[in-house]
């Protein structure tokens, strides 16, 4: 397959999406710090899914424990996650994108990639149309990045927020991408950031200056190659319009760590039931069942069992999950338990 020379890719990222949906349906929230996460009760377990820009001024950001967010800003409005409402808004904004091209990749509830290489109008004009269309259909704003590939488009959309429009082409990499901190590179998380800083690498430009072999030595063949290419703005991955899930899982964190085996067993059975329901909704069967247990000290382990054939029988999935559970020595309190079905096959 030959890659067409010079693609044009959009990355559309909704601004503070969950918070924006909440503000839209409750205008009295506007201008006040709003934090969405968990059950909406900051005295309970849970993390921040989205904080609006007002709340971010207090240092609140996503993935932060709700209790910490509350300490930083006790007067913030804490709301529960309402996936139904956000999914509805997501469908609306994606319908605007699909009216432009069918070459759309879902990249989560609040973002998407478009391949607009073959669009007749200019990218800027198409992007402005998208912004206007989304504003009209949802009342919300988004930020758009335009670039020759997904990697750069994603970095671009993050450069000007909210309501931004940023264009990056191959000639801008040295000036606009290389000065950025390594953490801005997709695929670089806290661990890799720490590792890179340990060898004196702080910016994408410094990363790009490292020989490919050095990166492979430090990070292995696959990830080393990726880091080398990504730091030079190279990404040939296509916009994927359709894919099948590879696993279906359910997990839950207890409000308080539990020791009672009955509670753990009852929860595991309920999770297995939900996984089976999700599998049937998706019209698929699984061959491998695994469980996940996280203890009070955050030690996390998994146990898996592969069956002789595919199944969507609740009894079989539940029994297999329990067989996995029996292989775990539960001496500490349990914080989280989960069930996962993998090795999926469509009916």
Partner DNA sequence: TCTGGGGTCCTACAGCCA
Partner DNA sequence: TCTGTGGCTGTAGGACCC
Question: Which residues sit at the interface with DNA, rule CB under 7 A?
Answer: 38, 45-47, 49, 62-63, 65, 67-68, 107-111, 154, 186-193, 220-223, 245-253, 278, 287-288, 290, 297-298, 300-306, 324, 327, 335-336, 338, 340, 343
Q: For DNA, which is the closer residue by CB, 30 or 301? A: 301
Among residues 23, 54, 111, 251, which one is catalytic? 111
Q: For DNA, which is the closer residue by CB, 40 or 129? A: 40
Helix ranges (H only) for the chain are 17-25, 53-56, 66-72, 83-98, 123-138, 150-157, 190-198, 204-209, 212-219, 221-231, 261-282, 314-326
Q: Name the minimum Å distance from CB 267 to DNA.
A: 11
Is 111 tagged catalytic? yes
238: DSSP letter: P
Question: Is there a contact between 35 and 53 (Cβ–Cβ < 8 Å)?
Answer: no
Q: Name the minimum Å distance from CB 125 to DNA.
A: 26
Q: For DNA, which is the closer residue by CB, 62 or 119? A: 62
Q: Name the minimum Å distance from CB 142 to DNA.
A: 13
Q: What's the Cα-to-Cα distance from 271 to each of 144, 154, 248, rounded to whole Å?
A: 38, 35, 11
Please choose, from the candidates 342, 259, 343, the residue with its C-alpha nearest in 3D space to the C-alpha of residue 293: 259
Q: For DNA, which is the closer residue by CB, 131 or 154? A: 154
Token reading at 171: 């000639």
Question: Is there a contact between 168 and 9 (Cβ–Cβ < 8 Å)?
Answer: no
Strands 142-147 and 165-167: parallel
Q: Name the minimum Å distance from CB 169 to DNA.
A: 21
Question: Which active-site residues does the annotation give?
Answer: 111
């Amino acid at each position: 397959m030959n890659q067409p020379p010079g693609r044009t890719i959009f990355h559309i990222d909704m601004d503070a999406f969950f918070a924006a949906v909440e503000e839209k349906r409750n205008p009295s929230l506007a201008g006040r710090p709003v934090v969405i996460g968990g059950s909406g009760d900051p005295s309970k377990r849970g993390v921040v899914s989205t904080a609006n820009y007002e709340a971010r001024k207090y240092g609140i950001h996503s993935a932060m424990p709700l209790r910490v967010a509350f300490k930083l800003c006790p007067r913030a409005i804490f709301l529960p996650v309402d996936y139904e409402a956000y999914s509805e808004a997501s469908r609306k904004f994606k319908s605007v994108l699909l009216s432009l091209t069918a070459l759309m990749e879902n990249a989560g509830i609040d973002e998407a990639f478009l391949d607009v290489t073959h669009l007749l109008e200019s990218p800027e004009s198409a992007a402005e149309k998208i912004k206007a269309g989304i504003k009209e259909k949802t009342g919300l704003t988004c930020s758009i990045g335009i670039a020759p590939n997904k990697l750069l488009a994603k970095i671009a959309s993050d450069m000007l927020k909210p309501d931004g429009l940023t264009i990056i082409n191959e000639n801008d990499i040295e000036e606009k991408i290389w000065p950025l901190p390594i953490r801005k590179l997709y695929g670089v998380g806290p661990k890799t950031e720490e590792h890179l800083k340990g060898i004196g690498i702080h910016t994408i430009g410094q990363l790009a200056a490292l020989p490919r072999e050095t990166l492979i030595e430090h990070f292995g063949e696959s990830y080393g190659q990726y880091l080398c290419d990504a730091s030079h703005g190279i990404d040939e991955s296509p916009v994927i319009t359709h894919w099948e899930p590879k696993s279906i899982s359910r997990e839950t964190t207890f409000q308080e760590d539990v020791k009672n085996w009955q509670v753990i067993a009852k929860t595991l059975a309920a999770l297995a039931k939900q996984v089976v329901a999700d599998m049937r909704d998706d019209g698929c069967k699984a061959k491998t069942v695994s469980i996940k247990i996280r203890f009070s000290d955050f030690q996390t382990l998994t146990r898996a069992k592969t069956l002789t054939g595919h199944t969507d029988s609740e009894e079989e999935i539940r029994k297999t999950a329990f067989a996995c559970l029996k292989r775990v020595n539960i001496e500490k309190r349990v914080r989280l338990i989960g069930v996962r079905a993998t090795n999926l096959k469509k009916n």
